[in-house]
Amino acid sequence: MLLLHPLTTVLALSLILTPVAMKQDPELASAEASFQAGDLASAAKQCRNILNGNPAHPDALHLLGKISFIAAKSITDVSQSLQAYGEAERSFRQLLKVSPERNETRIQQTLAICMQQRGAPLQALQFATNATRLGPKNSNAFRILGECASDLGRTDQAITAFQTAHDLAPANVDVVWLLTREFKTAKKPHKALAILEKTISSLPDNSPHRATLYQLMYENYLASNDTVGALSAIEKMVAGDPENASGIIELAATLYRLGKFEDAKASAQKARSLQSRDPKILSVIALKLGQILVHEQNYVEAVTELQSAVRHDPASLEALQAYAGALRRTGQDAKARSILESYKEIRTASDALKIHIAAYRSQPNDRSAQEQVIRCLITISDYEKAQKELIIRQRKFPDDSATGELIRLLTRAKAR
């Protein structure tokens, strides 16, 4: 799936300072100048200095909130990013406390994003709802509301919000992606396809978005069990973006499903020639080549490819199952049984993860539910998400006795 832009789209939060205000407050003017020059660290430091002397300074609070929010989105370290989101949240909350008349949709949107990033989905939803109330014609407000509702598993509410965002900004391809994804979740791919066809027809032939939308069509045709339609869509996607390894390997997978094994093999080899570094793409490439080799009864080479598929993505159920099958065909029954045990463990964890996520969404302060989410993420080798949840857990439950064990579990899993 080709993601466009996630929830944390940069919001154009404006700091309104009149020339008179600037002249009267040289420290704030200096902080604003640093911000405009792109020196976020200096600007933030200057704002904090102002607030040390006057904690209720509204313009300094506004600017610090904006700086921290922008910084949070560019910081790769999860812990530091969450810290910056926290500072943005505190700044805007304090601003609304000392100057409630400055409340407006963009501040509520920012607070929604901060709360969502920091593991408080119910509060995020409330801020997003406030944002739509303050900005009933603001497409981004409804987009954020839709993402917050989706994160809570409230699919119908998410669809309504995304549909409103789409109606307000029909040309926004990001919103189209979000809306069609939600229709797919709701098992209504026909509605997603209708929107995608309409959107694609409105784009110029050279639009960079066409390839992405064709891939979305491909996914929804698959969800409709229409393999022929899926093939047509993915072929158009690859034609528009011939260097996209993800699209090419999906083309290989579709050709394989249709029994066009030679064409599937050629597409998989083309995908490999692009030398992607994405482990999941590398896994699917090896998987498809391995499956084709099994079809050709070349089991020895198939084992090599399928072993590579599992190495690149240890939680791929399809790769594990295919690998076990190839091992049995080469007489390696004991190893095949071991792989099938891993398959069962990961499948159980994947199924359990959905249940625990639903419980955690409804009760964000449920330590037990979050612990189970982290354990499942570690089992399926999604270490990045597990790490983020652990950091959130340390902030939300600093005295929790289970956190140390979870950290050790993640460390051992990553070392294997």
Per-residue pLDDT tens listing for the chain (416 residues): 334 444 444 454 444 343 444 445 899 999 999 999 999 999 999 999 999 999 999 999 999 999 999 999 999 888 899 999 999 999 999 999 999 999 999 999 999 999 999 888 899 999 999 999 999 999 999 999 999 999 888 999 999 999 999 999 998 999 999 999 999 999 999 999 999 999 999 999 888 899 999 999 999 999 999 999 999 999 999 998 999 999 999 999 999 999 999 999 999 999 999 999 999 999 999 999 999 999 999 999 999 999 999 999 999 999 999 999 999 999 999 999 999 999 999 999 999 999 999 888 878 888 999 999 999 999 999 999 999 999 989 888 888 889 999 999 999 998 87
- Straight-line distance from the first to the last Cα atom of the chain, in angstroms, rounded to the nearest whole number: 28
Q: Nearest 5 degrees, angle CA 339-CA 342-CA 348?
A: 145
Residue 308: per-residue pLDDT: 97
Q: Give the helix ranges, DSSP H, for 75-205.
A: 78-98, 105-117, 121-134, 139-151, 155-168, 173-185, 189-202
Is residue 28 a contact partner of residue 50, using CB atoms and an 8 Å limit? Answer: yes
Residue 153 backbone class (left: φ over 0; alpha: ψ -120 to 50; beta: rest): left
Q: Nearest 5 degrees, angle CA 216-CA 217-CA 222?
A: 100
Greatest Cα pair distance in the chain: 84
**Exposed, middle or buried, 109 (CB in 10 Å: 0-12/13-18/19+)?**
buried
Dihedral pair phi/psi, residue 275, rounded to 5°: 55, 50
Residue 7: per-residue pLDDT: 47
The pTM of the full predicted model, rounded to 2 decimals, is: 0.84
Residue 23: per-residue pLDDT: 46
Residue 11: per-residue pLDDT: 53
Please give the single-letter amino acid code of residue 112: A
